[in-house]
A and B are shown apart, each in its own frame.
Chain A
């Protein structure tokens, strides 16, 4: 059964249509790469799935239910790793982890185990009681990454996961993404690092000018279209 199903979704802001007629589905335990040129609508699509932007038309179902049917259930089943860290100024790194774990209702024992392992992997144990402003951008990204990976959700949306991370953190994150998928989470990720994405994903969805231009198994994916390649298909 599909974890996430989008059917004829349109998104608009201030009367401007940003996404048009988007339909696809994601199966449990799969990694799907959302690719496209700058401004193709990748982040808008993620924000629409996460209900940060309201879909003007169409339906989005998570485990068969729409947002309107069960808002909290929908949110508890989605986790998001944004391109830019979105940390709360008021909270230290540790307080962020506590907030995420408590908001998703993660078991205390499981939280301790996961946190210990993630802190070690991202070499963040000595930064636990620091506020966001005293962390470097890479460190903030690591905190945000741990927040997104702590809960068990049916869907994990990752926007540019490797941005700001060093090579070791990138490799570690790749391993974690594969583990999450193996655990049954459907993962939708965007990245401009196409070679890395090819190694990671099972399938791809290509966006161009807010529309789906192509999709299929990752083996069929060659490269993204340029922004100016309007109608002619890419070789």
Chain B
């Protein structure tokens, strides 16, 4: 038998992975679908295609306008892409090494095969797949619009170039702790914003920085790699199959492994107080859900920053949206935290858990409040202070109400004082109307009273 090369070994793995995934999907499909469902699904799909075709006819004028708009600003779009694309990969490093390198790939590298070659094959395969996807999307865009093939090729080229050049930086950054990642993310935002602001060829500076990073990282590509963490992300990516999840009604979670290098010595000290323990549990949870958190909060923050330049009544709508969304997120996290890592099984002190979350929510809420303060400073009038007071107190009140409801649900109790939900909704609506009726802001005072009453109405902590 001829000795198997790395390429053959990787291909052997890919072929069998695909075969197994097809088998699993077929099983899931058989479990979910019957002939009637398939028939109606096909009918629906056919109708959707037909509708899309008709829509194309109807919207050809609009699409042609969009195409002309893009063709006229190609250089601007290119400069912007060059400046901001690295952010995408640095952001991605919070959760993924960028390359799917599962336990199986790692085990191949333990056999008489070179690790770097297996890794290179994994990169090659995944990047080719990505290129194929870009070409497919470009073909659809070319079919629907009047964008020229050269423009489409240029955009694909830029996207693919960054896909290749950011492989090593993302791979190495993924191995770092959270703070360096956030530091690099901030630096990339700053560099991107500066490049866009200055414009023209300065936008290529991030590309030069990425090229330099590649040269520097090449020699240390496999030094200090957290393989457990890399393969954990890879396994999740490979085996988290949507159809299978739907059929089995089991949501696949990433299997977290021990991360010796990620635990600081100070965190290894025994807990001295109960509150320290609860804060640590929240900290661990936030770290595990960094990506989700940064997406959710990033969206709200971005909305509150970008909408500053829109008419005032629209900004008040954005504030109302944030007042509604932020507490809902906090409540979802609260419930999920108690269900994750078997924590639900333990007799936790729910009130202390909530208190710990409130502290974190306060810090985050303050971050979201900053652009609102900037808005009122930029649009200063005699109502500004009262309005800000209203927004902060309303936010705190709604947060308390949502958390109390979540806590009641977890404790399997009826939520006391159901009218609080109505008050919360009223506060959100009033925030949206503050621009037209600023005097509504005076309701901050009764809200403050409600806040203090709520504290008294809380159940006493369990003595568990």
Which A residues fall within an 8 A CB radius of B? Answer: 13-14, 50, 52, 71-72, 75-76, 80, 86-91, 95, 99-108, 111, 131
Tell me whether B370 is interfacial, beta carbon within 8 Å: no
Number of interface residues of B (CB under 8 A): 25
Instruction: Known contacts A75-B113, A80-B110, A103-B111; decide if A111 and B20 are in contact (CB<8 Å).
Output: no
A19 smallest CB distance to B (angstroms): 15
Q: How far is the CA of A102 from the CA of B112 in the complex (A)?
A: 10
Instruction: Known contacts A13-B260, A89-B104, A90-B104; decide if A103 and B13 are in contact (CB<8 Å).
Output: no
Q: Determine if A107 and B261 form an interchain contact, defined as CB atoms under 8 angstroms apart.
A: no
* List of B residues within 8 angstroms of A76 by Cβ: 3, 112
A26 smallest CB distance to B (angstroms): 20
Q: How far is the CA of A108 from the CA of B3 in the complex (A)?
A: 11
Q: How far is the CA of A107 from the CA of B3 in the complex (A)?
A: 9
Stretch from B4-12, B163-171, B310-318, B454-462 that touches the partner: B4-12
Q: Determine if A91 and B113 form an interchain contact, defined as CB atoms under 8 angstroms apart.
A: no
Interface-central residue, B1, B13, B20, B235, by most chain A CB under 10 Å: B1
* List of A residues within 8 angstroms of B108 by Cβ: 88
Q: Determine if B111 and A108 form an interchain contact, defined as CB atoms under 8 angstroms apart.
A: no
The 9 closest A-B pairs by CB, nearest first: A105-B3, A102-B4, A75-B112, A88-B104, A90-B17, A76-B112, A103-B111, A14-B261, A90-B16
* List of B residues within 8 angstroms of A91 by Cβ: 13, 16, 104
Return 26 A-B CB contacts under 8 Å, by A number.
Answer: A50-B110, A52-B110, A72-B114, A75-B113, A76-B3, A76-B112, A88-B108, A89-B103, A89-B104, A89-B239, A90-B13, A90-B20, A91-B16, A99-B9, A99-B12, A99-B111, A102-B3, A102-B4, A102-B8, A102-B9, A103-B111, A103-B112, A103-B113, A105-B2, A105-B3, A106-B1
Q: How far is the CA of A145 from the CA of B40 in the complex (A)?
A: 51
* List of B residues within 8 angstroms of A95 by Cβ: 12, 16
* List of A residues within 8 angstroms of B13 by Cβ: 88, 90-91
B261 smallest CB distance to A (angstroms): 4
Q: Determine if A72 and B112 form an interchain contact, defined as CB atoms under 8 angstroms apart.
A: yes
Q: Determine if A86 and B260 form an interchain contact, defined as CB atoms under 8 angstroms apart.
A: no
Mask of B343-381 contacts with A, CB within 8 angstroms, 1/0: 000000000000000000000000000000000000000
B224: nearest chain-A partner, CB-CB: A14
Mask of B101-130 contacts with A, CB within 8 angstroms, 1/0: 011100110111110000000000000000
* List of A residues within 8 angstroms of B9 by Cβ: 99, 102-103
Q: Determine if B1 and A99 form an interchain contact, defined as CB atoms under 8 angstroms apart.
A: no
Q: How far is the CA of A71 from the CA of B239 in the complex (A)?
A: 32
Q: Determine if A104 and B239 form an interchain contact, defined as CB atoms under 8 angstroms apart.
A: no
B23: nearest chain-A partner, CB-CB: A131
Q: How far is the CA of A91 from the CA of B104 in the complex (A)?
A: 9
Beyond known contacts A72-B114, A95-B12: 13 more, CB 8 A cutoff = A13-B260, A52-B110, A88-B103, A89-B239, A90-B104, A91-B104, A99-B4, A99-B111, A103-B3, A103-B113, A104-B111, A104-B112, A111-B1
